[in-house]
Amino acid sequence: MKRNILITGGAGFIGSHLVDRLLAEGEWRITVVDDLNDFYSPDIKRSNIAGHLDHPGYRFVAADIRDSAALAEVFSGSGFDVIVHLAARAGVRPSLSQPQLYFETNVTGTLNLLELARTHKVGQFVFASSSSVYGINCKMPFSEDDRIHQPISPYAATKAAGELLCHTYSHLHGIRTVGLRFFTVYGARQRPDLAIHKFAKLINEDMPIQMFGDGTTRRDYTYIDDIMQGVRASIDYDSSIHEIFNLGESQTTELRELISTLENSLGKKAVIDRQPMQPGDVPCTFADITKARELLGYNPTTKIADGIPKFVDWFLNSNQRNASS
């Protein structure tokens, strides 16, 4: 018997990849909720789901997770077995100027979904969190047991709040919740506001790229195929009522090295516009994935030296398609 799954944010980067994977399995009835907001071009999201719309196992609903009445309609008669909650207002820097919007979407929206999971007796709730919850963490690598009480952006604070809500609903109502702390995900369909995509576009167009700080900040960049492995395992996880997992590559790359790898893959030199460090940015992210390896069987395999050329191939092909259309 096919299982019913709700994927919020399923028209986005990570969400559309998850839909691809589940449709290929042929064992799911998939409902996607996405408001197609203008944080980046809605046309990109429409393109992400274009190949899904005619599939008999797929249903798309344009709705905002802040709208509890609209969500209640989605749940009516659906009998969801699993919710994968990926929808969020994303981005650290924009959250500094729009904290109210981030709170309403990321906290109230998550609460709306947890309440509906409770009333409709949904057994499994997977929540997309973020490495940003660690703040400026001096202990490397970051472990799920580290304290996350010092976030340095409203975005990070909303993700930490979402994790706490998930724990509360697990404790009070027996909903199994799995929080996934994503570490800088990249690959085909990556959001255009994220550094790798933004840098590739600017380098390719011979435009300057803004490098914040001296280029020594480090990130744990995680390829989309590896993230999918972890997300898919979390859907079936049933060994405890509540867990948090880091999903990263468990290696770090300097910003200067990232730019150099992009230059080599694109065959062009970057024009660097040096800027001071920005409020809300952290100097380093680095995932300890021991727990995810042990409990999810998570095993990332794509190093940055291999992942960036794959991304650039997609980026150049996508640009070519757009130019000819």
Q: Which of 88, 13, 99 shows the shortest CA–CA distance to 280?
A: 99
Give the pLDDT confidence score for residue 136 in this predicted structure. Answer: 86
Query: Residue 241, Cβ neighbours under 10 Å: how many?
Result: 13
What's the rounded Cα separation, in Å, for the pair 317 and 160? Answer: 37
Give the pLDDT confidence score for residue 214 in this predicted structure. Answer: 87
Give the pLDDT confidence score for residue 43 in this predicted structure. Answer: 95
Give the pLDDT confidence score for residue 27 in this predicted structure. Answer: 95
- Among residues 58, 102, 134, 155, the one annotated as catalytic is 155
Q: What is the CATH number assigned to the segment(s) 3-186+223-250+282-301?
A: 3.40.50.720
Which residues of the chain have a pLDDT value below 50? none
Is the CB of residue 304 less than 8 Å from the CB of residue 265?
Answer: no
Give the pLDDT confidence score for residue 1 in this predicted structure. Answer: 83
Q: Which of 118, 140, 142 shows the shortest CA–CA distance to 129?
A: 142
**Both tokens assigned to 204:** 């390719």
Give the pLDDT confidence score for residue 77 in this predicted structure. Answer: 85
Query: What string of DSSP letters covers 104-154?
Result: IIIIIHHHHHHHHHHHTT--EEEEEEEGGGG-S--SSSB-TTS-----SSH
pTM for the model stands at 0.95
Give the pLDDT confidence score for residue 138 in this predicted structure. Answer: 78
Q: Classify residue 136 by burial, with Cβ atoms within 10 Å: 0-12, 13-18, 19+.
A: exposed
Give the pLDDT confidence score for residue 232 in this predicted structure. Answer: 98
Give the pLDDT confidence score for residue 323 in this predicted structure. Answer: 63
What's the rounded Cα separation, in Å, for the pair 86 and 111? Answer: 13
Amino acid at 274: R
169 among known catalytic residues:
no
Q: Classify residue 309 by burial, with Cβ atoms within 10 Å: 0-12, 13-18, 19+.
A: middle
Give the pLDDT confidence score for residue 325 in this predicted structure. Answer: 58
- Domain ranges within the chain, ordered by starting residue: 3-186+223-250+282-301
Query: Tell me: the pLDDT tens digits for 45-102?
Result: 999 999 999 999 999 999 999 999 999 999 998 899 999 999 999 988 899 999 999 9
